[in-house]
Structure 1
Amino acid sequence: MLGVILCGGQSTRMGTDKGLVKLHAKTWAQTAVDKISALHLKVFLSVNTIQFNAYLSVFMETQLIIDNDALKLHGPLAGVLSVHLQNPDEDLFVLACDMPLMETVILNELLSAYRQYPAADAYVFTNNGEPEPLCAIYRSKGLSHIVHLLNAKELSRHSMKFMLEHVQTRSMPLAEEQKKYFRNFNAHSELNGL
């Protein structure tokens, strides 16, 4: 299994690349890398072409995977499938860079489900019935199926939530006190108190 930090967003509301925003002297991307690394996983950062040079000034080139233009996708699905295509036999533990409140205890719950229910293709938490696909585990066989659907032009929408409808998903409802860990930040005004 590999860890994947999704950094490839546009960050238009934030006005600056969210993965490179600093919290307690570390970038959000590095904070996410540290959390996934604590699970003893090799970690890659998924970035788009525009971000590559900025991330190269902070991370090693071998840690960066650029979105595959041949997929003709944007957003998180492009990042996840780009990493999958470079590592087709690896399951992926995905975490978005803009969830700086995420705790390792939550990540360990996903790992436990992954080990306990090997038949599933995806492991996600749900928040009021809605999946949280940007902190999740995806098995390679499920991702291969999504690539097949994409190539066959049978994937009508290109979102992570829609993708989950096409693979066997193990969902775990979040307890009320866990929901704060999934908060993502999109504007500087939301950062007060961090």
Structure 2
Amino acid sequence: MKDQITERIAVYILCGGKSTRMNAEKGLVEYQGKAFLQWILEAVLPLTNQIKLVTQNEAYAQFGFPLIGDLVEDKGPVGGIYTALADSKIYLNLILSCDIPKISTKLISHLIQSAQSSKKEVSMLTDGMHDYPLIACYRKSVEEDFKIAIKQNHLKLCALVESLSPHKILISSPDDQSLQNINSDKELKKLNQEAFYSGS
């Protein structure tokens, strides 16, 4: 499966700026002794090593993957996705945020395969209550939509993705726990407590 996916998809992980609620660079925050980003990389690498990190922070160079800075600064996730799509030479692109340490190879593989078989330009995971446009596959063809959104300063990612009529892939319990965004010290403490009590 790895060779098949490697030829058809590029992966971009958005390692955006410092989180005010976490008071730290989110991708470098540690969970069970490893940076969030390391957990994500370990989930992706069984499928492909075509990975780039969207960030200008040289601290991420330690992970050994190319770093690319935003083409237009301070445009949030919309700017990050635009940067990724502008950089990509591949039709299908997996976009991930850097704050999902519990993401699994299984879910990523399911997302990619669903996106490959869909006619939609965007395919993203959903738990039925929340959509995850930063655990999603974007076709190169939507690059212009993101460019226009940035020019018009329309930076609400969910609204932009919804306007593209995305393919939503429903993930049910217990797999939906893998979608959890960790955005604050409180959420990190809860995650560590859950890991402690589960013995993982």
Q: Deviations over 1:123-182 (max 9, x none)?
A: 11223343211111001112333324544x3xx631221121232411122213222111
Whole-angstrom distance in 1 between the partners of 2:130 and 2:154: 17
Residue matched to 2:166: 169
Q: Deviations over 1:52-88 (max 9, x none)?
A: 13223x234x61111112xx55221111111211225
Is 1:54 equivalent to 2:51 in the alignment? no
Whole-angstrom distance in 1 between the partners of 2:30 and 2:129: 32
Identity of aligned residues (%): 24
Contact 1:6/1:94 (CA < 8 Å) preserved in 2?
A: yes
Unaligned runs of 5+ in 1: none
Residue matched to 1:146: 146
Is 1:2 equivalent to 2:6 in the alignment? no
Structure with a larger share of its residues in helix: 2
In the TM superposition, 1:128-143 aligns within 5 A as 128-143=128-143
Quick one: which amino acid aligns to residue 102 of structure 1? I
Quick one: which amino acid aligns to residue 83 of structure 1? A
Residue matched to 2:36: 28
Q: Secondary structure at the match of 1:165?
A: helix
Contact 1:146/1:166 (CA < 8 Å) preserved in 2?
A: no
Is 1:67 equivalent to 2:74 in the alignment? no
Quick one: which amino acid aligns to residue 109 of structure 1? H
Contact 1:5/1:96 (CA < 8 Å) preserved in 2?
A: yes
Unaligned runs of 5+ in 2: 1-8, 196-200
Q: Tell me which of 151, 157, 161 is aligned to 1:160.
A: 157
Deviates more, 1:172-181 or 1:142-151: 142-151
Quick one: which amino acid aligns to residue 14 of structure 1? M
Residue matched to 1:76: 77
RMSD of Structure 2 on Structure 1 (CA): 2.1
Q: Give the number of aligned pairs.
A: 183
Contact 2:93/2:137 (CA < 8 Å) preserved in 1?
A: yes
The TM-score normalised by the length of structure 1 is: 0.83
Offset of residue 99 of structure 1:
0.7
